A = this chain, B = another copy of it.
Amino acid sequence: MKKTLIVGTVAYDEIETPKKHSGKILGGAATYIGLSSALFSSQASIISVVGGDFEPSFLELLKSKGLNIDSIEIISKGKTFYWKGKYHKDWNKRDTLSTQLNVLADFNPVVKKEDTYSEIIVLGNLHPAVQNSVLSQMRSKTKSVILDTMNFWMDNSLQELLKVIKQVNIIIINDEEAIQLSGKDTLFAAATEILKMGPEHVVIKKGEHGAMLFSEKEFFTTPAYPVNKVEDPTGAGDSFAGGFAGFLSQSKDLDFETLKLAVVHGTVLASFCVEGFGTSKMEKLNKETVEKRFKEFKKYTRY
A188-B228, A226-B188 given; A261·B303 CB < 8 A: yes
Contacts of A219 in B (CB 8 A): 226, 300
Assess whether A303 is in contact with B186, with CB atoms less than 8 Å apart: no
Chain B residues within an 8 Å CB radius of A210: 209-210, 223
A152 adjacent to chain B (CB < 8 Å): no
Which single member of B186, B228, B301 contacts A221 (CB below 8 Å)?
B301
Given contacts A209-B209, A221-B223, contact A228 B186 (CB under 8 A): yes
Check if A114 is an interface residue, CB within 8 A of chain B: no
Q: Is A212 an interface residue (CB 8 A)?
A: yes
Task: Give the interface residue-count category, chain A.
Answer: 20 to 34
A260 contacts chain B at the CB level, 8 A cutoff: yes
Q: Does A229 contact B (CB under 8 A)?
A: yes
Tell me if A187 counts as interface (CB < 8 A to partner B). Answer: yes
**A186 & B261 in contact (Cβ 8 Å cutoff):** no
What is the CB-to-nearest-CB distance from A183 to chain B, in angstroms, rounded to a whole number? Answer: 14
In the assembled complex, A264 has its CB within 8 A of some CB on chain B: yes
Give the distance in Å from the alpha carbon of A89 to the alpha carbon of B179 in the complex: 14
Inter-chain contact A303/B188, CB cutoff 8 Å: no
Smallest CB–CB gap between A90 and chain B, Å?
Answer: 10
Q: Are B187 and A222 in contact (CB under 8 A)?
A: no
Task: Kindly list chain B residues whose C-beta atoms are within 8 Å of the C-beta of A206.
Answer: 209
Q: For the complex, what is the distance from the CA of A189 to the CA of B230, rounded to whole Å? A: 12
Q: Is A95 an interface residue (CB 8 A)?
A: no
- Which of chain A's residues 189-211 have a Cβ closer than 8 Å to chain B? 189, 206, 209-210
Given contacts A188-B226, A260-B303, 8 further A-B contacts (CB under 8 A): A188-B228, A206-B209, A209-B210, A209-B223, A221-B223, A222-B303, A257-B303, A298-B303
